[in-house]
């Protein structure tokens, strides 16, 4: 069985067209690929925190998370956003099961190295992939919210890109990030040009030069980490382009493919 982990960021989820979900259902029912969705929900979290007069801070694209913020993160990600994705799939004939990384210890987490700055932001130390496979074996599409838990029951806010990479590593799956742009863009004589393929070294250089910044940083770092740990392929595609997901899964040149140096030639 070939798995494809599809990461949908919160900034694109609100506006993804019906056809995107139709493509996931088509993939699930009639292709060699088995889709697994991991989602974010950042804008809705920020909006709710603002309504509660709670300040939001980010460090290198990661949300600083205290106890109050963590409650809102879990409510939004594992509640409203997760079930909205499940409903969107149901509306186009799909069968999906929404689950949190907390359920069954799906995403076992530990605090990041920057815990003093970031608070309850976690990294994934283990994925209980038998839960995901169990959902798939019963004929459902897994929809996963990136909230993790440690052995003591402490919850952690996990960046969705990092969670998606960890799940892909555990399943030896391909990983596809859904964006609202066609891939990684660079300035070429004043014109934004998409990179069809980019290497680890070039990405690190682009981060240093601040060509890649903000929320794109954890995305590309998660991609590189996945490739180093045997994820077969990582891509960034535009979920608003018709058939882009199906085209990507069929091996067509869509979006930006992120590769290690030895594959760049």
pLDDT for position 74? 97
Residue 77 has pLDDT above 90, yes or no: yes
Structural domains of the chain, with CATH: 2-263 (3.40.1160.10)
The predicted-structure confidence for 84-119, as pLDDT tens digits, reads as follows 999 999 999 999 999 999 999 999 999 999 999 999
Mean pLDDT of the residues in the chain:
91
Return the number of other C-beta atoms located less than 10 Å from residue 175's C-beta: 29
Q: What is the CA radius of gyration of the chain?
A: 17
pLDDT, residue 212, reads: 81
> Does residue 251 carry a pLDDT above 60?
yes
| 158 vs 41: CA distance, rounded Å | 11
pLDDT for residue 142: 98
Look at residue 262 and tell me whether its pLDDT is greater than 70.
no
Confidence of residue 263 (pLDDT cuts 50, 70, 90): low
Sole residue written with tokens 């960046």: 159
pTM of the shown model: 0.91
Each residue's pLDDT tens digit, 192-241: 888 888 888 888 888 888 888 777 787 788 888 888 887 888 899 999 99
Alpha-carbon gap, residue 255 to 182, rounded angstroms: 5
């Amino acid at each position: 069985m070939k798995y494809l982990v599809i990461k949908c960021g919160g900034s694109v989820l609100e506006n993804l067209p019906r056809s995107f979900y139709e493509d996931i259902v088509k993939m699930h029912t009639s292709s060699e690929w088995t889709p697994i969705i991991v989602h974010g929900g950042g804008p809705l979290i920020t909006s709710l925190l603002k309504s509660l007069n709670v300040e939001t801070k980010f460090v290198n694209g990661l949300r600083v998370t205290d106890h109050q913020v963590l409650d809102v993160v879990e409510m939004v990600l594992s509640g409203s956003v997760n079930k909205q994705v499940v409903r969107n799939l149901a509306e186009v004939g799909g069968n999906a099961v929404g689950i949190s990384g907390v359920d069954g210890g799906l995403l076992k987490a530990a605090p990041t190295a920057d815990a003093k700055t970031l608070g309850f932001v976690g990294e994934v130390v283990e994925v209980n992939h038998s839960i995901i496979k169990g959902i798939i074996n019963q004929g459902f599409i897994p929809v996963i919210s990136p909230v993790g838990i440690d052995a003591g029951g402490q919850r952690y806010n996990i960046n969705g890109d990092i969670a998606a990479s960890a799940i892909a590593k555990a399943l030896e799956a391909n990983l596809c990030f859904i964006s609202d742009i066609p891939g990684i863009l660079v300035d070429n004589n004043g014109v934004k040009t998409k990179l069809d393929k980019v290497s680890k070294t070039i990405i690190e250089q682009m981060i240093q030069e601040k060509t890649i910044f903000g929320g794109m940083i954890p995305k590309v770092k998660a991609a590189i980490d996945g490739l180093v740990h045997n994820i077969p392929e990582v891509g960034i595609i535009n979920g608003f382009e018709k058939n882009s997901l199906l085209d990507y899964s069929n091996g067509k040149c869509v979006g930006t493919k992120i590769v290690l140096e030895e594959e760049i030639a």
